Structure 1
Amino acid sequence: MTHRLLALFLMAFIPLTLWSQDETNPYPKRSYTTTSIQGQTIKIDGVLDDEAWNAVEWTSDYVEFQPDVGTEPSQQTKMKIVYDDKNLYVAFYCLESDMSNLERRLGRRDDFPGDWVEINIDSYNDDRSGFSFTASVSGVKGDEFISDNGNFDSSWNPIWYLATSIQEDGWIAEFRVPLSQLRFGNDEEQVWGIQSTRRYFANEERSLWQPLPANPPGWVSEFGELRGLIGLKPQKQLEIQPYTVAQLDTYEAEPGNPFRDGSDPRLTGGLDAKIGVTNDLTLDLTINPDFGQVDADPGAIALDGFEIFFPERRPFFVENKNVFDFRVGGGADNVFFSRRIGRPPQGGTSVDPSKGEFQDIPAFTTILGAAKFSGKTKDGWAIGVLESVTAEEKGEIELSDDPEFIAGLPEVGEAREEVVEPLTNYFVGRVQKDFNDRNSYVGGIMTSTVRRMDPNVSFLRSHAYSGGIDFRHNWKDRKYYVEGTGILSHVRGNPESILRTQTSLTHLFQRVDAGHVEVDPTRTSMTGTGGRFEIGKGGGGDWRYNVGGNWRSPELELNDIGFLRQADQFRQYANVRRLWNNPTSWYRQANLSLNQFTEFDFEGNYNRIQYEVNGYMNWKNNWWSEFGFGHKPRIFTNTFLRGGPRWRFSDENFFYFFSGTDSRKKFNMTLGYVHSDAKEDAFALRRYVVRMRYQPLNALSLSLNFEYQENPNKTQYVTESSFDGTPRYILGNIQNESLSTTLRVNYNINPNMTIQYYGQPFIFKANFSDFNYVNDPIAEGLNERVTLYDNQQISFEDGVYSVDENRDGTTDYAFGDPDFAFVQFRSNMVFRWEYIPGSEIFLVWSQGITGLGDVNDSFGTIIQDELLGQRPQNTFLLKATYRFVF
């Protein structure tokens, strides 16, 4: 009862405080007037000696934003802006009284470890979106698309030009941004929003051209104005980028296997294009895209059976991904998850090794083509359409190429092909409309997945559709907001596919104690709903708070083109955060948060409540610390027993602490520790993190991340069996450890030529003992929930545990040895040369090892035998692109 009262108090308290503060922006909106330099030329060389620059005056008077908001910055900055009919030109003069303070470290594009300056441009003038261009003192470029009034997306890579130079009293950055890379209307006289930020590395300081108070209610909405833009004509963008790839895979040959002869050469090509349909809307096309230079996913193991979420890394889908974002609630759940497109084939073949058969299944589904149509009109319509077709993939089955092996078989198979992934069409449509002076918007999304079915993949759904609406309303100068979404999903298929959906871990309609859902093997469709609602304070003053809820009905299914971990869930949450933004004698910035949530299922079961406190401190010496602790007095789950009854976990307490040194230093590091314990020692977690970064040269940086984790659990799920006609849910005491180390090395030959290395070994060991079975799954005490097998009931021989539960001398049921050790190594070395803006050459060398080790071996032995002692698979790749700009 106490827990529920506290939750109700938080839900009531937060809305009442929404109007408790009435902060006003103390800074008037600034304005800068530019002019056209039509007929004159500016050479982008970092030297401002072109006559055209004299057409306008400098603007200055930047004001510090971090750490000491509203004060005079340590060093002042000056800015000029001019334009012609094709380009926007920007010049910065970053003053410096002590030139030894300048930090000229190099980094990859969009990575700035030293001094930098940037300009943000709201050419739509919609107070929500914009374009960001950044220059480091060393000449490294950065560019980001800004959405939702402050979300920066670095995947946007436009073509623009930059040069920097060092002067006696500072440094200069000179930009040329083609107007084709921006989006704006066709009014004769236009007003754009602008903002400029400078990072002064020596003091880890940010100063702004348009001053802002601490914790502004947004970013783009608070920009100053750029005036004097007269007669600009929208520029239609047309860029075509063909590519070619030569690839060679080498690996250890497998005797007798015709598909594993030791090497696989490949030569392919494709095309990417950007077509400006109008100045507001752009069509992105890709034909046979290649993602060979993309980093591999990190190693991970999920003992709970759920799919592991990995973020999108492929450039075509990463760019402007925010346009299609439509979240269901907290976590990764989303109506659209682009990694479904081109996923590994979901089917298998009927290969029979005993008949001399071997199989070859593609690692990924071929994307025949994809197109994105996106942009925003001057009337406030944001539009996104994505269409993609993936190929029908077939697994090949061939006979062994070893005649002696075939001759010794009593029965010989036959060569054939079997469909493992059907031809599939994916579609996503997204729209939002601003109104109410851009303080509000409403939007919607629609998705579809349609497969051309084949009997070999009849377990897949043939059709999947989803649709949703979303809205947000801001008021009181955008300090307060209310937002929400509503989602409807519908999937169709033959009874086999819908039965598989009902009984999947996401749904578990077969749960033995669930009265609100049941399995129907004759169904051919499912329809579900989801959504969320939230109200809160998002800007202004020293407080942030919100309260809300989200739901996923039992039949909600998004995993054909979206991501949904678990249906049948309702969650209520409330969060309060206090910020301290003005530096003191011992810190620069700090914040403290209180978070609470509860969970129910649609039968009304009260499954979970959690309280958490967390905080962050940026110390005066620019070191930082973050901490958190929490209490979980009620933890029930519907999924732990994989279709069995609800399971109760023991009460849990946890805390974590991370702290790091000054990130500006050439050597900096982070140490972290996570600690969790459950009542009666039912389970625990110990996680140790060490992260180090070293930049001995401006051009060279190294980082090493080390993580070790122990997660013992006395009741880890093993399998389900049957005893006297009733289900037996078998658990075990697991001692599991994981170890991962990630090394990254970046060497910048110059801002446009880099060598990057990524390598990660990952080891996971799971050792089971003290097997037990579920007795009363929702009992409060651990010993009441399970019963431990004694030595007379369980025995082990030849990899099999045999159970004589009633001790009558006869085996009642058996299960395999669940112990395992998983070993993986992934590495990637990439040489990248942007030989002209937008055109690149990649040289890639990738290595990979995946296997199983002995759970009884030490980490050192596993590394020696399974990583260092095995021949890896190597991939050598040469990719060349050329971007034609018309």
Structure 2
Amino acid sequence: MLSSRILHIITFLCVTSMAFSQTEDTSEEKEQKIEKRSYTTNSIGTAEAPKIDGVIDETSWDLVEWTSDYVQNQPDNGKPPTEQTKMKIVYDDKNLYVAFVCLDKDPDGIVKRLSRRDGFEGDWVEFNIDSYNDDRTGFSFTINAAGVKGDEFISNNGNNWDGSWNPIWYVKTQTNAEGWTAEMRIPLSQLRFGNEEEQIWGIQSTRRYFRAEERSLWQPIAQNAPGWVSEFGELRGIKGIKPQKQIEIQPYLLGQLDTYKEEAGNPFRDGSDIMGTAGLDAKIGITNDLTLDLTINPDFGQVDADPGAISLDGFEIFFEERRPFFVENKNIFDYSFGGNQDNLFFSRRIGRSPQGRTTTDFDKGEFEDFPNNSTILGAAKFSGKTKGGWSVGVLESVTSKEFVEIELDERDDIINGLPEKGTSRKELVEPLTNYFVSRIQKDFNDRNSYIGGIFTATNRDLEDNIMFLHKNAYSGGLDFKHNWKDRKYYLEGSAVLSNVNGSEEAITRTQRSIVHLFQRVGAGHVEIDTSKTSLTGTGGKLEIGKGSGDWQYEFGGNWRSPELELNDLGFLRQADEVRQYSSVVRLWNKPTNWYRRANISAYQSTTYDFEGNFNNVYYQLNAYANLKNNWFVEVGSENNGHNFDKSDLRGGPRIRNSNDHLGYIYTGTDSRKKLSSTIGYVYGQASENAFSFTRYELRFQYQPLNSLRINMTAKYESRPNKTQYVSQQDFNDVTRYITGAVDFETISTVLRVNYTINPNLSIQYYGEPFIARGKYSDFNYVKDAGAKKLSDRVQQYPNNQITFADETYSIDEDSDGTTDYSFGNPNFSAAQYRSNLVVRWEYIPGSEVFFVWSQGINGFGDGSNDFGKIIDDQIFRQQPQNTFLIKATYRFVL
């Protein structure tokens, strides 16, 4: 049954593709194409190279003409801009030089906001280069009127902008009676290009005129164009330059002091630790197109902590990668294929928290020193894109064995009969592990199509006490995308294959995990096989759509087979699923007398498992408007109709969830103002009040000075649920799936303060308190998981069957005076506070010093207190753990 559903989806998409390809042009498609602009530069030869001071007075600039005639892109596409911009480009054998004159009738009104690198505040001008000339990738250089740099690597035709790319380049700005000027020097070693005698590059320039929140472009593009890079104009006239092989070496030195609450008798918690370390990052140009990145003993001490979060559904919480080595060029390794962040490569698996457990007996006075993360001994990344259209990425990393040291209480009053004081042992909790990823894509069909592949491998050196892990795990995939009719329409797809191997214990553990749940009651197509030593699964997607124009839409389907397993080096939330989806969006980008731009979109999906069970149908409707005064309003609604969940009961039968409806509204003020804010409200409720969801959200930003910016987001959420899973117990050889009514609430606040002394020296503070509380009541058990009415679905325990003592609920279901089964008190409260204060000084381009103070507090309770008491007991009365570190780097460019 399932295979026929997949076949029907694929057949439908292919037939629709053929129909689209033969559709006659609509009136929108018959519009006259925008002429591609061209600028011809010149070598400065023996002339004096421009001095990068923001004053455009060197004779070398006279070798070329100004180009101008920028046109609006936002808000009124195609109209003349409020203020015009002029640009010049010259070059020599080592550098590209770019000059801008940003005319402004009111120079005193130019907004010069300071920020850290990549802040993009105030008035700015941007220069994009597609030196591959592949219509998909580019390099972006931005400078604002205050002299703050921004640089990003552009990929996927403008759908991905990677701000972690930090090349070495030079720029200065000046303000004069005509407006403001900027001079750039971009070393050719920071770009990638072929070895042709004459280079033809794609270029684009964007100016932000802050007071009108206006964007103007050197190369005009159509409204709702199919991409960004593919619409660039051309730069001609560069002749005789040679590709520059990039060689950069960046060692670092670090000193660190940790302070924390001393624990009496614990040899590992004496109140403080001090350490020093060193490491090295290197970037070596193998060719002009391909770069080898190396890191030895990497440090990520200045990286922000993850936001606070608690999941009651049992699934792993997805957190974004923040470590610079893995963030840079991550788009090359990306292989997403089905929503829910599912991806064959999830770099946070490298250096993950150790997965093993120890035999530490805390009741007998033993203590342990458990590492927070696995140590990355080294990593290498080979990546880039060739002039011939090959995108290549290879990543290799090794993490070390991780041991937990276990010792007895240091105090003299050791309990008699225990081993002597000083006895210690080490236990392995994470094996030596090798991670490998290779990714490749090839452009063809005049860069309108590509085909690609990926292969990942995880290999572990297992020992007896960690045989529950996979010995090795492999995954591979093929993907493609085809665009036609000037990239208006597209067809894309992917296929995935996974294989994991290990002991019978390891594979049984995988089958029982919440990702798979092969033990599910009533599932006829899966079952636990304790003799298996491997699992092999498949996944993929196929999608067709229209990606440009006022109307855009997509139709698609994806699948993940029951045995698909990616979580050794990828991310997979749930296997055993087939999903069909479609969406349509209508865009209005021509301003009217009440909005600047607006859109409305609709989304629909249905979900099945591989047995053919119809599990879910979902609808979503959203509308957005950016108003004339630059405020915005966003509203939307969602509906879950037919809704069964196969994981709620952790291996029990599929259980019906009551149909639910949700709506939201967000509105925000003009973000250009010194003080701006956004407020949001979300409310959803299921039939019979089975569960509900409420969110209140407030965001504000305040910029009292050009150098000072304060951002805060505060959020409150409430998720009461009458059938939250609690436990499963045996009663007369029948499994009771116990649920209860939970009042689950969270409060979080994120505060960021940025003080920028100058573009190279800044102070940044980040702080986030997070509090969660869950209080349970009205316990019940599932009696008919598929019943439509809540009262038929579960049976609540009467008062004479349930008692509570010593943090345990005891159930006498047959009322014979004897406890039939029991479960622990599930109430909880959790409080967390994370903060980070960073002083960053880029003392020369590419070389930095960081002064960091990080603070962390974790507190846990039984959920009986209100939020005020939780904050007082679990945060204010806890001694924080502090980390003070100094890190210095120096970037050698060879």
Q: TM-score range by the shorter chain?
A: over 0.9
Please, which moves more after superposition, 681-690 or 410-419?
410-419
Match of 2:122 in 1: 114
1:654 aligned to 662, 680, 686, which one?
662
- The amino acid of 1:29's aligned partner reads K
Q: C-alpha distance in 2, partners of 1:662/1:270?
A: 45
Q: C-alpha distance in 2, partners of 1:717/1:13?
A: 44
Q: C-alpha distance in 2, partners of 1:14/1:572?
A: 15
Q: C-alpha distance in 2, partners of 1:551/1:884?
A: 48
- The amino acid of 1:512's aligned partner reads V
SS of 2:356 mapped into structure 1: coil
- 1:361, distance to aligned residue in structure 2 (A): 1.1
Q: Quick check: 1:11–1:574 contact (8 Å CA) kept in 2?
A: no
Q: C-alpha distance in 2, partners of 1:453/1:146?
A: 41
Is 1:266 the counterpart of 2:248 in the alignment? no
Is 1:450 the counterpart of 2:467 in the alignment? no
Report matched runs for 1:389-428 at 5 Å. Answer: 389-407=398-416, 414-428=423-437
Match of 1:795 in 2: 803
What TM-score comes out, normalization by structure 1 length?
A: 0.98
Q: Quick check: 2:456–2:475 contact (8 Å CA) kept in 1?
A: yes
Match of 2:483 in 1: 474
Match of 1:606 in 2: 614
Match of 1:463 in 2: 472
Is 1:489 the counterpart of 2:486 in the alignment? no
- 1:627, distance to aligned residue in structure 2 (A): 1.0
1:324 aligned to 313, 321, 333, which one?
333
- Give me the identity figure in percent: 64
2:724 aligned to 711, 716, 737, which one?
716
Match of 2:52 in 1: 44
SS of 2:414 mapped into structure 1: helix
Q: Quick check: 1:854–1:862 contact (8 Å CA) kept in 2?
A: no
Q: C-alpha distance in 2, partners of 1:26/1:443?
A: 31
Match of 1:291 in 2: 300
Is 1:615 the counterpart of 2:615 in the alignment? no
- 1:405, distance to aligned residue in structure 2 (A): 3.0
- The amino acid of 2:390's aligned partner reads W
Q: C-alpha distance in 1, partners of 2:337/2:36?
A: 37
| Per-residue CA distance 1:132-166 (angstroms, 9 max, x = gap) | 00001110100010111112111111111110110
1:221 aligned to 213, 230, 248, which one?
230
Q: Quick check: 1:14–1:536 contact (8 Å CA) kept in 2?
A: no
Report matched runs for 1:28-427 at 5 Å. Answer: 28-39=35-46, 40-150=48-158, 151-407=160-416, 414-427=423-436
SS of 1:317 mapped into structure 2: helix
- 1:356, distance to aligned residue in structure 2 (A): 2.1
- 1:870, distance to aligned residue in structure 2 (A): 1.3
- 1:856, distance to aligned residue in structure 2 (A): 2.4
Unaligned segments of structure 2, at least 5 residues: none
- 1:857, distance to aligned residue in structure 2 (A): 1.8
Q: C-alpha distance in 1, partners of 2:316/2:619?
A: 26
| Per-residue CA distance 1:717-771 (angstroms, 9 max, x = gap) | 0011011011000000000110001110000010111100000010000000000
Query: Structure 1 23/140 Cα, relative in aligned 2: closer, same or farther at 3 Å?
Result: farther
Q: Quick check: 1:25–1:213 contact (8 Å CA) kept in 2?
A: no
Q: Quick check: 2:827–2:864 contact (8 Å CA) kept in 1?
A: no
Q: Quick check: 2:107–2:180 contact (8 Å CA) kept in 1?
A: no
- 1:52, distance to aligned residue in structure 2 (A): 1.0
- 1:459, distance to aligned residue in structure 2 (A): 0.7
Unaligned segments of structure 1, at least 5 residues: none
- 1:11, distance to aligned residue in structure 2 (A): 8.2
Match of 1:578 in 2: 586
Is 1:26 the counterpart of 2:26 in the alignment? no
Q: C-alpha distance in 1, partners of 2:183/2:383?
A: 30
Q: C-alpha distance in 2, partners of 1:147/1:114?
A: 25
- The amino acid of 1:765's aligned partner reads R
Q: C-alpha distance in 2, partners of 1:805/1:205?
A: 69
Q: C-alpha distance in 2, partners of 1:197/1:180?
A: 24
- 1:337, distance to aligned residue in structure 2 (A): 0.2
Match of 2:534 in 1: 525
- The amino acid of 2:659's aligned partner reads D
Q: C-alpha distance in 2, partners of 1:518/1:27?
A: 60
Query: Structure 1 349/566 Cα, relative in aligned 2: closer, same or farther at 3 Å?
Result: same
| Per-residue CA distance 1:227-268 (angstroms, 9 max, x = gap) | 001001000000000001100100010000000000011100
Q: C-alpha distance in 1, partners of 2:135/2:33?
A: 19
Q: C-alpha distance in 1, partners of 2:91/2:474?
A: 47
Q: C-alpha distance in 2, partners of 1:522/1:409?
A: 40
Q: Quick check: 1:78–1:94 contact (8 Å CA) kept in 2?
A: yes
Is 1:778 the counterpart of 2:786 in the alignment? yes
- 1:854, distance to aligned residue in structure 2 (A): 4.5
Is 1:553 the counterpart of 2:543 in the alignment? no
- 1:666, distance to aligned residue in structure 2 (A): 0.6
Q: C-alpha distance in 2, partners of 1:627/1:125?
A: 40
| Per-residue CA distance 1:160-184 (angstroms, 9 max, x = gap) | 1110110111101110110000000
Q: Quick check: 2:713–2:749 contact (8 Å CA) kept in 1?
A: yes
Query: Structure 1 23/510 Cα, relative in aligned 2: closer, same or farther at 3 Å?
Result: farther
- 1:102, distance to aligned residue in structure 2 (A): 1.1
- 1:85, distance to aligned residue in structure 2 (A): 0.5
Q: Quick check: 2:859–2:878 contact (8 Å CA) kept in 1?
A: no
Report matched runs for 1:553-702 at 5 Å. Answer: 553-702=561-710
Match of 1:744 in 2: 752
| Per-residue CA distance 1:49-72 (angstroms, 9 max, x = gap) | 111111111100001001100100
Q: Quick check: 1:537–1:546 contact (8 Å CA) kept in 2?
A: yes
Q: C-alpha distance in 2, partners of 1:637/1:238?
A: 53
- The amino acid of 1:49's aligned partner reads D
What TM-score comes out, normalization by structure 2 length?
A: 0.97
Please, which moves more after superposition, 344-353 or 582-591?
344-353
Q: C-alpha distance in 1, partners of 2:118/2:384?
A: 22
- The amino acid of 2:80's aligned partner reads E
CA RMSD of aligned residues (A): 1.6
Is 1:704 the counterpart of 2:712 in the alignment? yes
- The amino acid of 1:262's aligned partner reads G
| Per-residue CA distance 1:104-149 (angstroms, 9 max, x = gap) | 1111111122011001000001111010000011101000101111
Q: C-alpha distance in 2, partners of 1:399/1:41?
A: 70
